[in-house]
Structure 1
Amino acid sequence: MDSIVPCLDLNLYAEPNSSSSINTSKTTPKIEPLDETPPFLPPTTNLTTHQFRFAPPPPGPDVSTEFNRISELFHSTFAQRLQKYGDVAVLPDADPNSGAIVPCNNPETQIGNVVISPRGARKQDQRSSELVRVTDLRPEVHRCFRGEIRRTRLLFDSLRTFLIADIEKGRSLTPQRWRRVDLKVAQLMKNQGLWLYRDKRIVGAIPGVSIGDVFFFRMELCVVGLHGQAQAGIDYVPASQSSNGEPVATSIIVSGGYEDDEDAGDVIIYTGHGGQDKHSRQVVHQKLECGNLALERSMHYGIEVRVVRGIKYEGRTPGKVYVYDGLYRVTDTWFDVGKSGFGVYKFKLVRFENQGQMGSVVLKFVESLRTLQLDAWPKGYVSLDLSSKKENVPVFFFNDIDEDHEPLYYQYLPTTRFPLHVYDYVAKGIGCDCVGGCLDVCSCANKNGGEFAYDLNGILVRGKPLIFECGPHCQCPPNCRNRVSQKGLRNRLEVFRSRETGWGVRSLDLIQAGSFICEFTGIVLTQEQAQIFTMNGDSLVHPSRFPERWAEWGDLSQIFSDYVRPAYPSTPPLDFAMDVSRMRNVACYMSHSSSPNVIVQLVLFDHNNISFPHLMLFAIENIPPMRELSLDYGMTDEWTGKVSICN
């Protein structure tokens, strides 16, 4: 059994003149999207550090990476106290400036003298009880952890979509249809050792998880190590696994499940758990045990607690999402009589200062914009619809930095314009004849390899080299499940001015992974025409330069050993360019990123010329409101590191 390493409240033992600062500076030029800043870390002191050695994990397929400047501070006397239990060892020659234990995105990573795996032993069932704190993450190191979180969540979302589509086809992988597909996804990933931070429990911020990240399922919180309890609201190391026999809490979920909770944002009065019946009514007194005692012990030791809020969100089934809102400290606890007349334990949690804006606040803000009158909108909105009603929903234009109104000077182009000869491939009888609605025998589905590209909710099942949608020559109704990307915008998008990336795009709605966002539009030119336009200095987009990021969505090779990357329908090299110098849409303002949250998926629906597909954009991860959307353009300007049309 692994040991627990409680972290003391270092502020109680700080030297009078000791101070620390958190390096949150951004790289220049900034290429990555805005959400990739390091997570908040609570202040630390200049106390003597101690390093703890653990056995290295089994080697993995990736190349090991060494990171420095990652430190974990424990008070020396408390560490020596733990020594007598025989579960930790203080190295006599420990370097006061050496790094400490922290998982990384490679299966085996050495930090200082410590080797540790982010995923731990494969198929590990029991979580470790060892507590470690991660501090002083540089931006580039945070991006490395962020990449691992991104890949894990991408796999979770795409696997869930795949299983749902499989159930819809009537050939479920299990003997029974799963009502909670997320439970099946979590189990499959756990069986493959793909849960993160199982070999160590992180105190404080989880490396790679940013404040404001939104999760659709509780099980996803468990998979990434943010909150390890599938149902309980308090995650803690139980006393039975603790070296000193005391439980320690590391995170809570605030979702309004207790009538005595009071949530003021930065200050929370949190009701302990226990004493409720199946209808969530308080029927007996609570006891100071389990999670309740763990929260009290976290207050005693000064251990910061992660707070995740469960928020009702319009249009979300079953109506709730989970948002990570940062770190809090437990400042007080008491026993009180609740509204039901039974005794409950209450805990006062106060949010650490200098953290990013809470994601729950952002969600409530963007929802309030739906009902605000025009004169009540925040200052900075230049236009409430750049598309001039050419889209189904408005495209906002926001700039509170300067007087640059350049996006207003372009003609908005909702769909791509192809040369006339492209439509020579349109012939009678090319569409399906599914008058009552498309089924598996649909001719358009046969073009996609005998399956539909989307589930019944319009979510992309997996990326492909090319997708055929039903088009104007098909007999199916407009609400056909195979007409997803040709219907235009569904989410309120906003072009905004950024000091880091120039022009950028963000959404005022929560976008689910796998959802269609918009088309990347322009005037299609042949290569000969493109050469002339380039000589005139016009802005061109070359579709052939977009990397095949579509292959990432639905890549289940880590789950199924027989997984094969889709190769059908195949397309020839895209030998054309798109002029966006005068006519463009909102997609042209998306910034470049090497870890994008949006991918390009090629789609055909209005003609059959596979050499001239539409460039449709889909979300590859859950994108919270007000978070910047980013693409991998593949090739950028060698001087600025950015694509010219983005600025």
Structure 2
Amino acid sequence: MDPSPSPSLDLNIVPYGLIVPKIEPKLEQNDLSIQIGPIDSSPNPNPNPSPDSILSPEVHTPLQQLPPDEDALFAEYYRLAQLYLTVVVVSKKKKLRSGEMVRVSTLSPQDQVYFRDLVRRTRITYESLRILLIREEDRAEGLGLLTRRSRADLKAAALMTDRELWLNRDKRIIGPIPGINIGDIYFFRMELCVIGLHGQVQAGIDYVSASRSSSGEPIATSIIVSGGYEDDDDKGHELIYTGHGGRDQNLHKHCAGQKLAGGNLALERSMNYGIEVRVIRGVKCDKSPTNKVYVYDGLYKIVKCWVDVGKSGFEVYKYKLLRIEGQEEMGSMLIKRAEELKVNPLSVRPSGYLSLDMSMGKENFPVSLFNDIDEDRDPLLFEYVARPVYPPGLREKVFGDWGCGCECVTNCTVDCRCAKMNGGDLPYDKNGILARGKPVVYECGSTCKCPLSCPNRVSQRGLKNRLEVFRSQETGWGVRSLDLIRAGSFICEFSGIVLTKQQADVLTANGECLVCPNRFPGRWVEWGDITDVFPDYRPPNLPSLPEPSFSIDVSRARNVACYMSHSCSPNVFVQFVLYDHYNVAYPHLMIFALENIPPLRELSLDYGMVDEWVGKLTM
């Protein structure tokens, strides 16, 4: 087969985010770069293009460059609204074909944040629906009303389909997808479909069929490599991928020869036209409900295609793929490196460690301190406190007589006192995942009779993951995990010395580092929200919480959370929790994951205001 690129492919490739009249540019030979702006491959471009066929100036105008007036703010709002409509809402005037292929144009930093938040919002809706469906079935099963359990992952996706909440469904994206980063992790194949990363529920090759392609030929968009074919040979940056078909589903061996049709033909056509494909790897993981996670590893170029006799004696199509250079490191490789670091960190990083446990045994797991950039050792100068410290006098005020706890002898149920304090339900599922963010979560405490294994005792148990404070060129000091952290999981507590408002006013005048809990945005409202699917859905009555008036002094004592970097598009959030006392004026600042966080990815928190103390913590 001739591997040389062909210049005759007729793709309807346009800048992402536009609804434009059909154009038919020819893909340049060996062109693997992202298209920037409108694509016009005709020899004599129209000197007077229509307004619908070009980018409006507002699309790539950074917000900070706009004049500070109401018209500019309205223009920015309109721009984001248009971006949202082109991704999620199907145009009523023009029903776009599901085979329409587009390529992403270069996005501004503001648009990158926007699309990342859009993808995160969609994933939160999907996971929240899945958790809710499981809890409802658990409740029905407990009442003897359920005879057969359903697939919550499939049902959640179906509910989102009815509301047209699947992303990128009416445009088949070639190359990277806005809002999806290399290394992102998923637990369910259906989640890949919902966000448009891979559109096949079972097949490993996703492609635009010939009947739906403007060129009249199938074009591959993504593949999943999960060890399902015995003739695959995965070396990471180089991959020998076996085509689709001929496999025995039970034995994972071939029982018939493959044909150059469907996904196999699409891969061969993509090779000839020099079109890159997205590669997603399935990796074994004991933290996953399915014992497997799917990791997006970036873009690959197909460089060779041939027919071979497989290990089972049948003809198979093989494709050699090479990872395109210049991308971020593969997520699957980072997972392997993180596992090696947990076993023997010094064998992986012989130098750079300032401490293998800066907590000095105060946490359930060691918190390492790593710096291979400069000579800064600042975190070692502070006392490490795993829990908040209350000065004399304040402790008596906080830990007053707050009544008795629940009377549960075994694990708590929805009928117990603590469940009623949480609005009529327990806040966590059986895996310790927060079902929904709340103004305040009441965990069982020292006055409760339930055992320490009670599912309503999550954040009070401390760290469940290996965390590391590290030096970064971009953010100063930062925090990352050596473990995969599931969305909705507890990570750690934000700790320091608790001060009253009067005490904080004195220290503020002296320039001390103070963290004010009332400045953290209420990101907890995002977690568990399913109103996009059920607009009338209302959770049980949630307990109210007065605005916290205390501060946390981190100028002398602090913990790992204090080194989390700020982001306006964070992957963790603060949830107020009470358990050792029920004084709502002084809740614990517990940090939970807002999305699935891969190993060695930096944790980011929205502090609300990037004040001087944020800079002092991270620099």
TM range (shorter): 0.7 to 0.9
Structure 2: unaligned runs, 5 residues or longer: 1-9, 14-23, 61-74
Say if 2:113 and 2:569, in contact at 8 Å, map to a contact too. Answer: no
2:374 corresponds to which residue?
Answer: 402
Within 2, Cα distance between the matches of 1:470 and 1:5?
A: 58
Q: Secondary structure at the match of 1:169?
A: helix
2:33 corresponds to which residue?
Answer: 43
2:447 corresponds to which residue?
Answer: 473
Residue 203 (structure 1) shift: 0.6
- TM value normalised by structure 1: 0.83
Say if 2:352 and 2:372, in contact at 8 Å, map to a contact too. Answer: yes
> Larger deviation: 524-533 or 309-318?
309-318
Q: 1:382 aligns with which of 351, 354, 364?
A: 354
Residue 468 (structure 1) shift: 0.8
- Residue identity opposite 1:5 in structure 2: N
Number of residue pairs matched by the alignment: 575
Residue 373 (structure 1) shift: 6.2
2:63 corresponds to which residue?
Answer: none
1:323 aligns with 2:295: yes
1:588 aligns with 2:562: yes
Q: 1:185 aligns with which of 152, 156, 175?
A: 156
1:487 corresponds to which residue?
Answer: 461
Say if 2:12 and 2:25, in contact at 8 Å, map to a contact too. Answer: no
Within 2, Cα distance between the matches of 1:443 and 1:226?
A: 44
Cα distance change of structure 1 residues 378 and 147 upon mapping to structure 2, 3 Å threshold: farther
Cα distance change of structure 1 residues 382 and 361 upon mapping to structure 2, 3 Å threshold: same
Cα distance change of structure 1 residues 517 and 312 upon mapping to structure 2, 3 Å threshold: same
Cα distance change of structure 1 residues 175 and 301 upon mapping to structure 2, 3 Å threshold: farther
Q: 1:150 aligns with which of 117, 120, 128?
A: 120
Cα distance change of structure 1 residues 125 and 410 upon mapping to structure 2, 3 Å threshold: farther
Say if 2:423 and 2:541, in contact at 8 Å, map to a contact too. Answer: no
Structure 1: unaligned runs, 5 residues or longer: 15-41, 46-69, 81-89
1:309 aligns with 2:264: no
Q: Write 1 or 2 for the structure with the bigger share of helix.
A: 2
Say if 1:109 and 1:116, in contact at 8 Å, map to a contact too. Answer: no
Say if 1:120 and 1:199, in contact at 8 Å, map to a contact too. Answer: no
Q: 1:137 aligns with which of 107, 120, 145?
A: 107
1:119 corresponds to which residue?
Answer: 88
Say if 2:34 and 2:106, in contact at 8 Å, map to a contact too. Answer: no
Within 2, Cα distance between the matches of 1:354 and 1:424?
A: 55
Q: Secondary structure at the match of 1:462?
A: coil
Residue 175 (structure 1) shift: 7.2
Q: Deviations over 1:94-131 (max 9, x none)?
A: 3999449xx99x9x9879x9997112428999961011
Cα distance change of structure 1 residues 114 and 483 upon mapping to structure 2, 3 Å threshold: closer
Residue 491 (structure 1) shift: 0.7
Cα distance change of structure 1 residues 284 and 497 upon mapping to structure 2, 3 Å threshold: same
Q: Deviations over 1:445-483 (max 9, x none)?
A: 111112100011100000111111111111111110000
Q: 1:128 aligns with which of 98, 119, 123?
A: 98
1:222 corresponds to which residue?
Answer: 193
Q: 1:442 aligns with which of 400, 409, 416?
A: 416
- Residue identity opposite 2:206 in structure 1: D
- Residue identity opposite 1:422 in structure 2: K
Within 1, Cα distance between the matches of 2:338 and 2:386?
A: 24
Cα distance change of structure 1 residues 566 and 465 upon mapping to structure 2, 3 Å threshold: farther
Residue 137 (structure 1) shift: 2.5
Match runs of 1:351-370 below 5 Å = 351-370=323-342
Within 2, Cα distance between the matches of 1:360 and 1:496?
A: 21
Cα distance change of structure 1 residues 473 and 175 upon mapping to structure 2, 3 Å threshold: closer
Residue 229 (structure 1) shift: 0.5
Within 1, Cα distance between the matches of 2:518 and 2:34?
A: 49
Where in structure 1 do 4 or more consecutive aligned residues deviate above 6 Å?
6-9, 108-111, 113-116, 122-127
1:161 aligns with 2:131: yes
1:632 corresponds to which residue?
Answer: 606
Say if 2:187 and 2:290, in contact at 8 Å, map to a contact too. Answer: no
Aligned-residue Cα RMSD (Å) equals: 3.1
Q: Secondary structure at the match of 1:517?
A: strand
Say if 1:228 and 1:235, in contact at 8 Å, map to a contact too. Answer: yes
Within 2, Cα distance between the matches of 1:294 and 1:634?
A: 48
> Larger deviation: 581-590 or 153-162?
153-162
Residue 625 (structure 1) shift: 1.1
Within 1, Cα distance between the matches of 2:377 and 2:441?
A: 36
Q: 2:585 aligns with which of 597, 611, 625?
A: 611
> Larger deviation: 591-600 or 240-249?
240-249
- Residue identity opposite 1:305 in structure 2: V
- Residue identity opposite 2:427 in structure 1: A
Cα distance change of structure 1 residues 256 and 125 upon mapping to structure 2, 3 Å threshold: farther
- Residue identity opposite 1:523 in structure 2: I
Q: Deviations over 1:39-77 (max 9, x none)?
A: xxx4368xxxxxxxxxxxxxxxxxxxxxxxx42536438
Within 2, Cα distance between the matches of 1:125 and 1:459?
A: 39
- Residue identity opposite 1:426 in structure 2: D
Within 1, Cα distance between the matches of 2:559 and 2:257?
A: 60
Say if 1:269 and 1:349, in contact at 8 Å, map to a contact too. Answer: yes
2:65 corresponds to which residue?
Answer: none
Within 2, Cα distance between the matches of 1:114 and 1:143?
A: 12
2:224 corresponds to which residue?
Answer: 253
- TM value normalised by structure 2: 0.86
Within 1, Cα distance between the matches of 2:466 and 2:232?
A: 33
